[in-house]
Amino acid sequence: MKTKSNKAVHPIGIGTWGISSFNNTANADSKYRGVEPVYGNEEEEIEAIRYSITQGQNHIDCAEMYGGFYTDEVVGRAIAGLNRTDLFVADKLWKTSVSTGTVRGTVEKMLKKLGTDYLDLLYIHAPWEDAPWEEAIPQIDELIDEGIVRGFAVSNFTVEQMQRAMELSRHTLVANQVHYNALYKDEADETFVKFCQENDIAIVAYRPVERQEVLHNETIQQIAKSNDATSAQVAISWLLAKGALPIPKATKKEHIDENLEALNLQLTTEEIEQLDRL
């Protein structure tokens, strides 16, 4: 991803959705802001993030609303003491933080939780109909001008919505994060992918593995067996072959190692086409 950070980004990112006990989208509503977080698995999650980093992963994908507005704190503890210049930290604005005059204060809170003085990438989390996401863009421009944010991105945006964001922004649109995997291609169809390629917009794939559906698909299992690989590795390898940046969440070392091994899996053209047709 070409941001002002000018950093190489590892092909497989570190997803943080579900980090900490608040992992329900409903809990992102402002009425939950006063709810005390329920602690539980933080130490395991922190250890997993730090282990991922030791294995070369540097792209950490966060969001303001993850974990009921608590996940950023856990990530901050995980990266404390590490070389910040080696890391690529992305965060996302929730709909309560996109109106005029709200973005700077929200980003300052993000930075405090994360323990850093800049974000490599800042997303608008979604093109909500009930929130003025367009108002966030000139505010993000200002933060990029000041070096507090190094790149502008969007999430769950269509081609038309990306075009609108590009019209409003003085800075390059760096990435679009969408639900994308071997079985779900609705948001990243041929037109979408072509537009992103033509405009040098990275496609960041969330829910890249979806263990209940993807990992139990017969075609994926057959391809995995023929390559002496796992279904998760096939799913990730396919996304890499399509030029996407998957951001799987893993809290166990064996799953992290499994995911990273996908980098060594070279699917054939025929196998990629099989997965394209799913």
pLDDT digits (tens, 9 = 90+) for 135-173: 999 999 999 999 999 999 999 999 999 999 999 999 999
Task: Give the side-chain half-sphere CA count within 13 A for 209.
Answer: 22
Nearest of 132, 141, 193 to residue 167 by alpha carbon:
141
Which pLDDT score, from 0 to 100, does residue 32 have? 43
pLDDT band at 232 (very low <50, low <70, confident <90, very high): very high
* Residue numbers of the domain that contains 172: 14-210+234-262
What CATH code is carried by the domain that includes residue 120?
Answer: 3.20.20.100
Q: What is the pTM of this model?
A: 0.93
The region of weakest confidence among 35-49, 72-86, 222-236 is 35-49
Residue 97: inside a domain, yes or no?
Answer: yes
CA distance 30 to 237: 38
Give yes or no for residue 211 having a pLDDT over 90: no
Q: Is residue 275 part of a domain?
A: no
Rounded percentage of the chain residues whose pLDDT exceeds 70:
93
What is the 8-class DSSP label of residue 32? G
198 is a domain residue:
yes
On whether residue 220 sits in a domain, the answer given is no
Q: Is residue 216 part of a domain?
A: no
3-class secondary-structure state, position 61: strand
267, part of any domain: no
Query: How many domains does the chain contain in total?
Result: 1
**Which distant-in-sequence residues (6+ apart) come within 8 Å of 218 by Cβ?**
none
Phi, psi dihedral angles at 34 (to 5 degrees): -85, 0
Q: Is 273 inside a domain boundary?
A: no
